[in-house]
Structure 1
């Protein structure tokens, strides 16, 4: 709480040459239900959230920005359990009022003549990639954009959740992260990229205090190296093209504490693993209707030595549908982790008009190694030995956007999302799960 107050005071006390205040109100309701042959369990979360963003352009070089939210909810525990953006946080005791600092940074624009050349210091949402880093991190970073090339590099560490209802997980404390990304257009709107990410934990975490289900960087040093390419994937940059594609191959190398499911114990081991991501999207006609498919593979092993895992800063959601909508690639209800996984999906999206858009997806999930667990939210699921089929996911979303709310000059967005996960033979101890999400957001 003191950190939140201090950051807000710093922003307010800054004397700007130009200041801009934006604020919005969001209300939402979500239900998660699991249904089996004998029982049904439900979790309901309701919230009203006010978010304010304050940006000051002190001069042509220096800019400050702070964004914070105040949330009223029926249950902070239920709300946090349904928030896929805070997987690395642990809920505190039940509460109905939450304060959350989202960003607070200082940015320096270099006078280099490039389209973008900035250094950012503070609590900043790093958007390197949905599969690498898409999270708020206390960091210093450097971003440069030219006509054909863009690159970024940064160093940071999550020091706090900046959320009055949560704390950082024990296994996520003391992790220093160093990242770099370079992207170059080898042809107009066709790019190749190289990603690198290094995570080291400088505090020693007692594995006796960590759940055996956890999979991620722990008490060690890990390096992710990836190479890939894309065209029109996360944004429709090329107005003349009706296709979009993305591919990426990533290697994970390092050593640290891994839970060996074969020996049922924590061990310090070397890790060598890999993952593959790919996607293809078509626009069959001049109408804003899109069809596409994604596939993903991540290695796994019972002893953990070949088990791929992500950094913990990923979101696994992106705007690859062709519309403005954002999709959860690994099913909203399941939210599978990219580890010991083979998955494929078919999706379709339609921008009906300027206001309405709809999208849907069907996806299938199997284990890469049927001797190792499947994972969701970086936690192992109890699986049947020998069965590979994790299950099937179904997603549907409809979004309405308007520039005016009745007679008021306020932008609004209404969203309905429904997701269903049907368990496969490998998860016979689990029940099918359904998530329904309703949301209304208005800019004030």
Structure 2
């Protein structure tokens, strides 16, 4: 083949490729127009775009999808996402979100957000061990990215990110309510309303519920093995998993012009300990988790012809309070580090509690004056303050060469004492973390 023929063939191939690429893009746009499906996702880049164009593998679950599945909790509906699995931690029966097989003790590598505000608890980096499940009645859509999202959302999104978008006044047709009853003495009722209060768009939601949990049975636990070793009979196994809890969920959304104020509260009293904090069944201990968020947003999508501007301030307050946790039940035996090998037959009891607040400020601008590019720039400030930590307990851990760390009574009576820095028993002290960030994105 001559050089001239080669050049003509190359030109034809390039032209064909360009035409086909243009046709494919046109076909995509035509399909979106014909389907009328506004499957837009903003969690991948921070700006709305079709799911098919998102740089991450994204899934959008709408309110219609939720109704079609019959799911009642966030964990139920997330099981429908490809590449994602929801399991349970034995500790407090907390949901574990595994994306593409990546899973640790409390899955802190998966970021959970409500309306873009992280529900991250700095104690373990998760969304709170006592939060339980999130109901779905007041959710408009759920956006999920599977794969690293740290560039947009920070280190907590190394495995993926989930953004829960709640309903606004336009998503609710007047007043809606419902009652449910199910197995394991599960009952809940909810009411929500969307409408106008003068010039203000109002959406409000309240739900009350209770459940005794799934009632699974544990045949043998960690105390069972200790009973064999020390000749005791303290284990509560076989026995039921303690995964029941009461629940209160409330949300309020107020919008006027470019302003939006949102308030939410999640309350989980009487929360069971699952299979036990130390994998020994504990039918007595109940925890209480409280999570409150507030955010104020100003958003103008048409500040000028090519500019959009968003400013946001948010506040998130959490506390996880518990009665005395029985790590190992009364009647269990642990050796004391005393001359003569004295021992005491008592339970292993502790009560760690912590309170935390988070404050966030951010501003972002979007420029759309370029034909095939959008520029997004922003800056922000975050303050995470674990302002109070308390603990009481009757045990500590002592290292024995060749054995490892073993629990031992703090004193001869194995009585409960306050853990402080002064006596060297404090497991955590109040502290805060500040971060300042800026970004430029194409």
Q: Which has the higher contact order (CA 8 A, sep 6+)?
A: 1
Task: Please identify the structure whose Cα radius of gyration is greater.
Answer: 2
TM-score, length of structure 1 as denominator length? 0.35
Query: If each structure's helix is expressed as a fraction of its own residues, which one has the higher value?
Result: 2
State TM-score, norm by structure 2.
Answer: 0.35
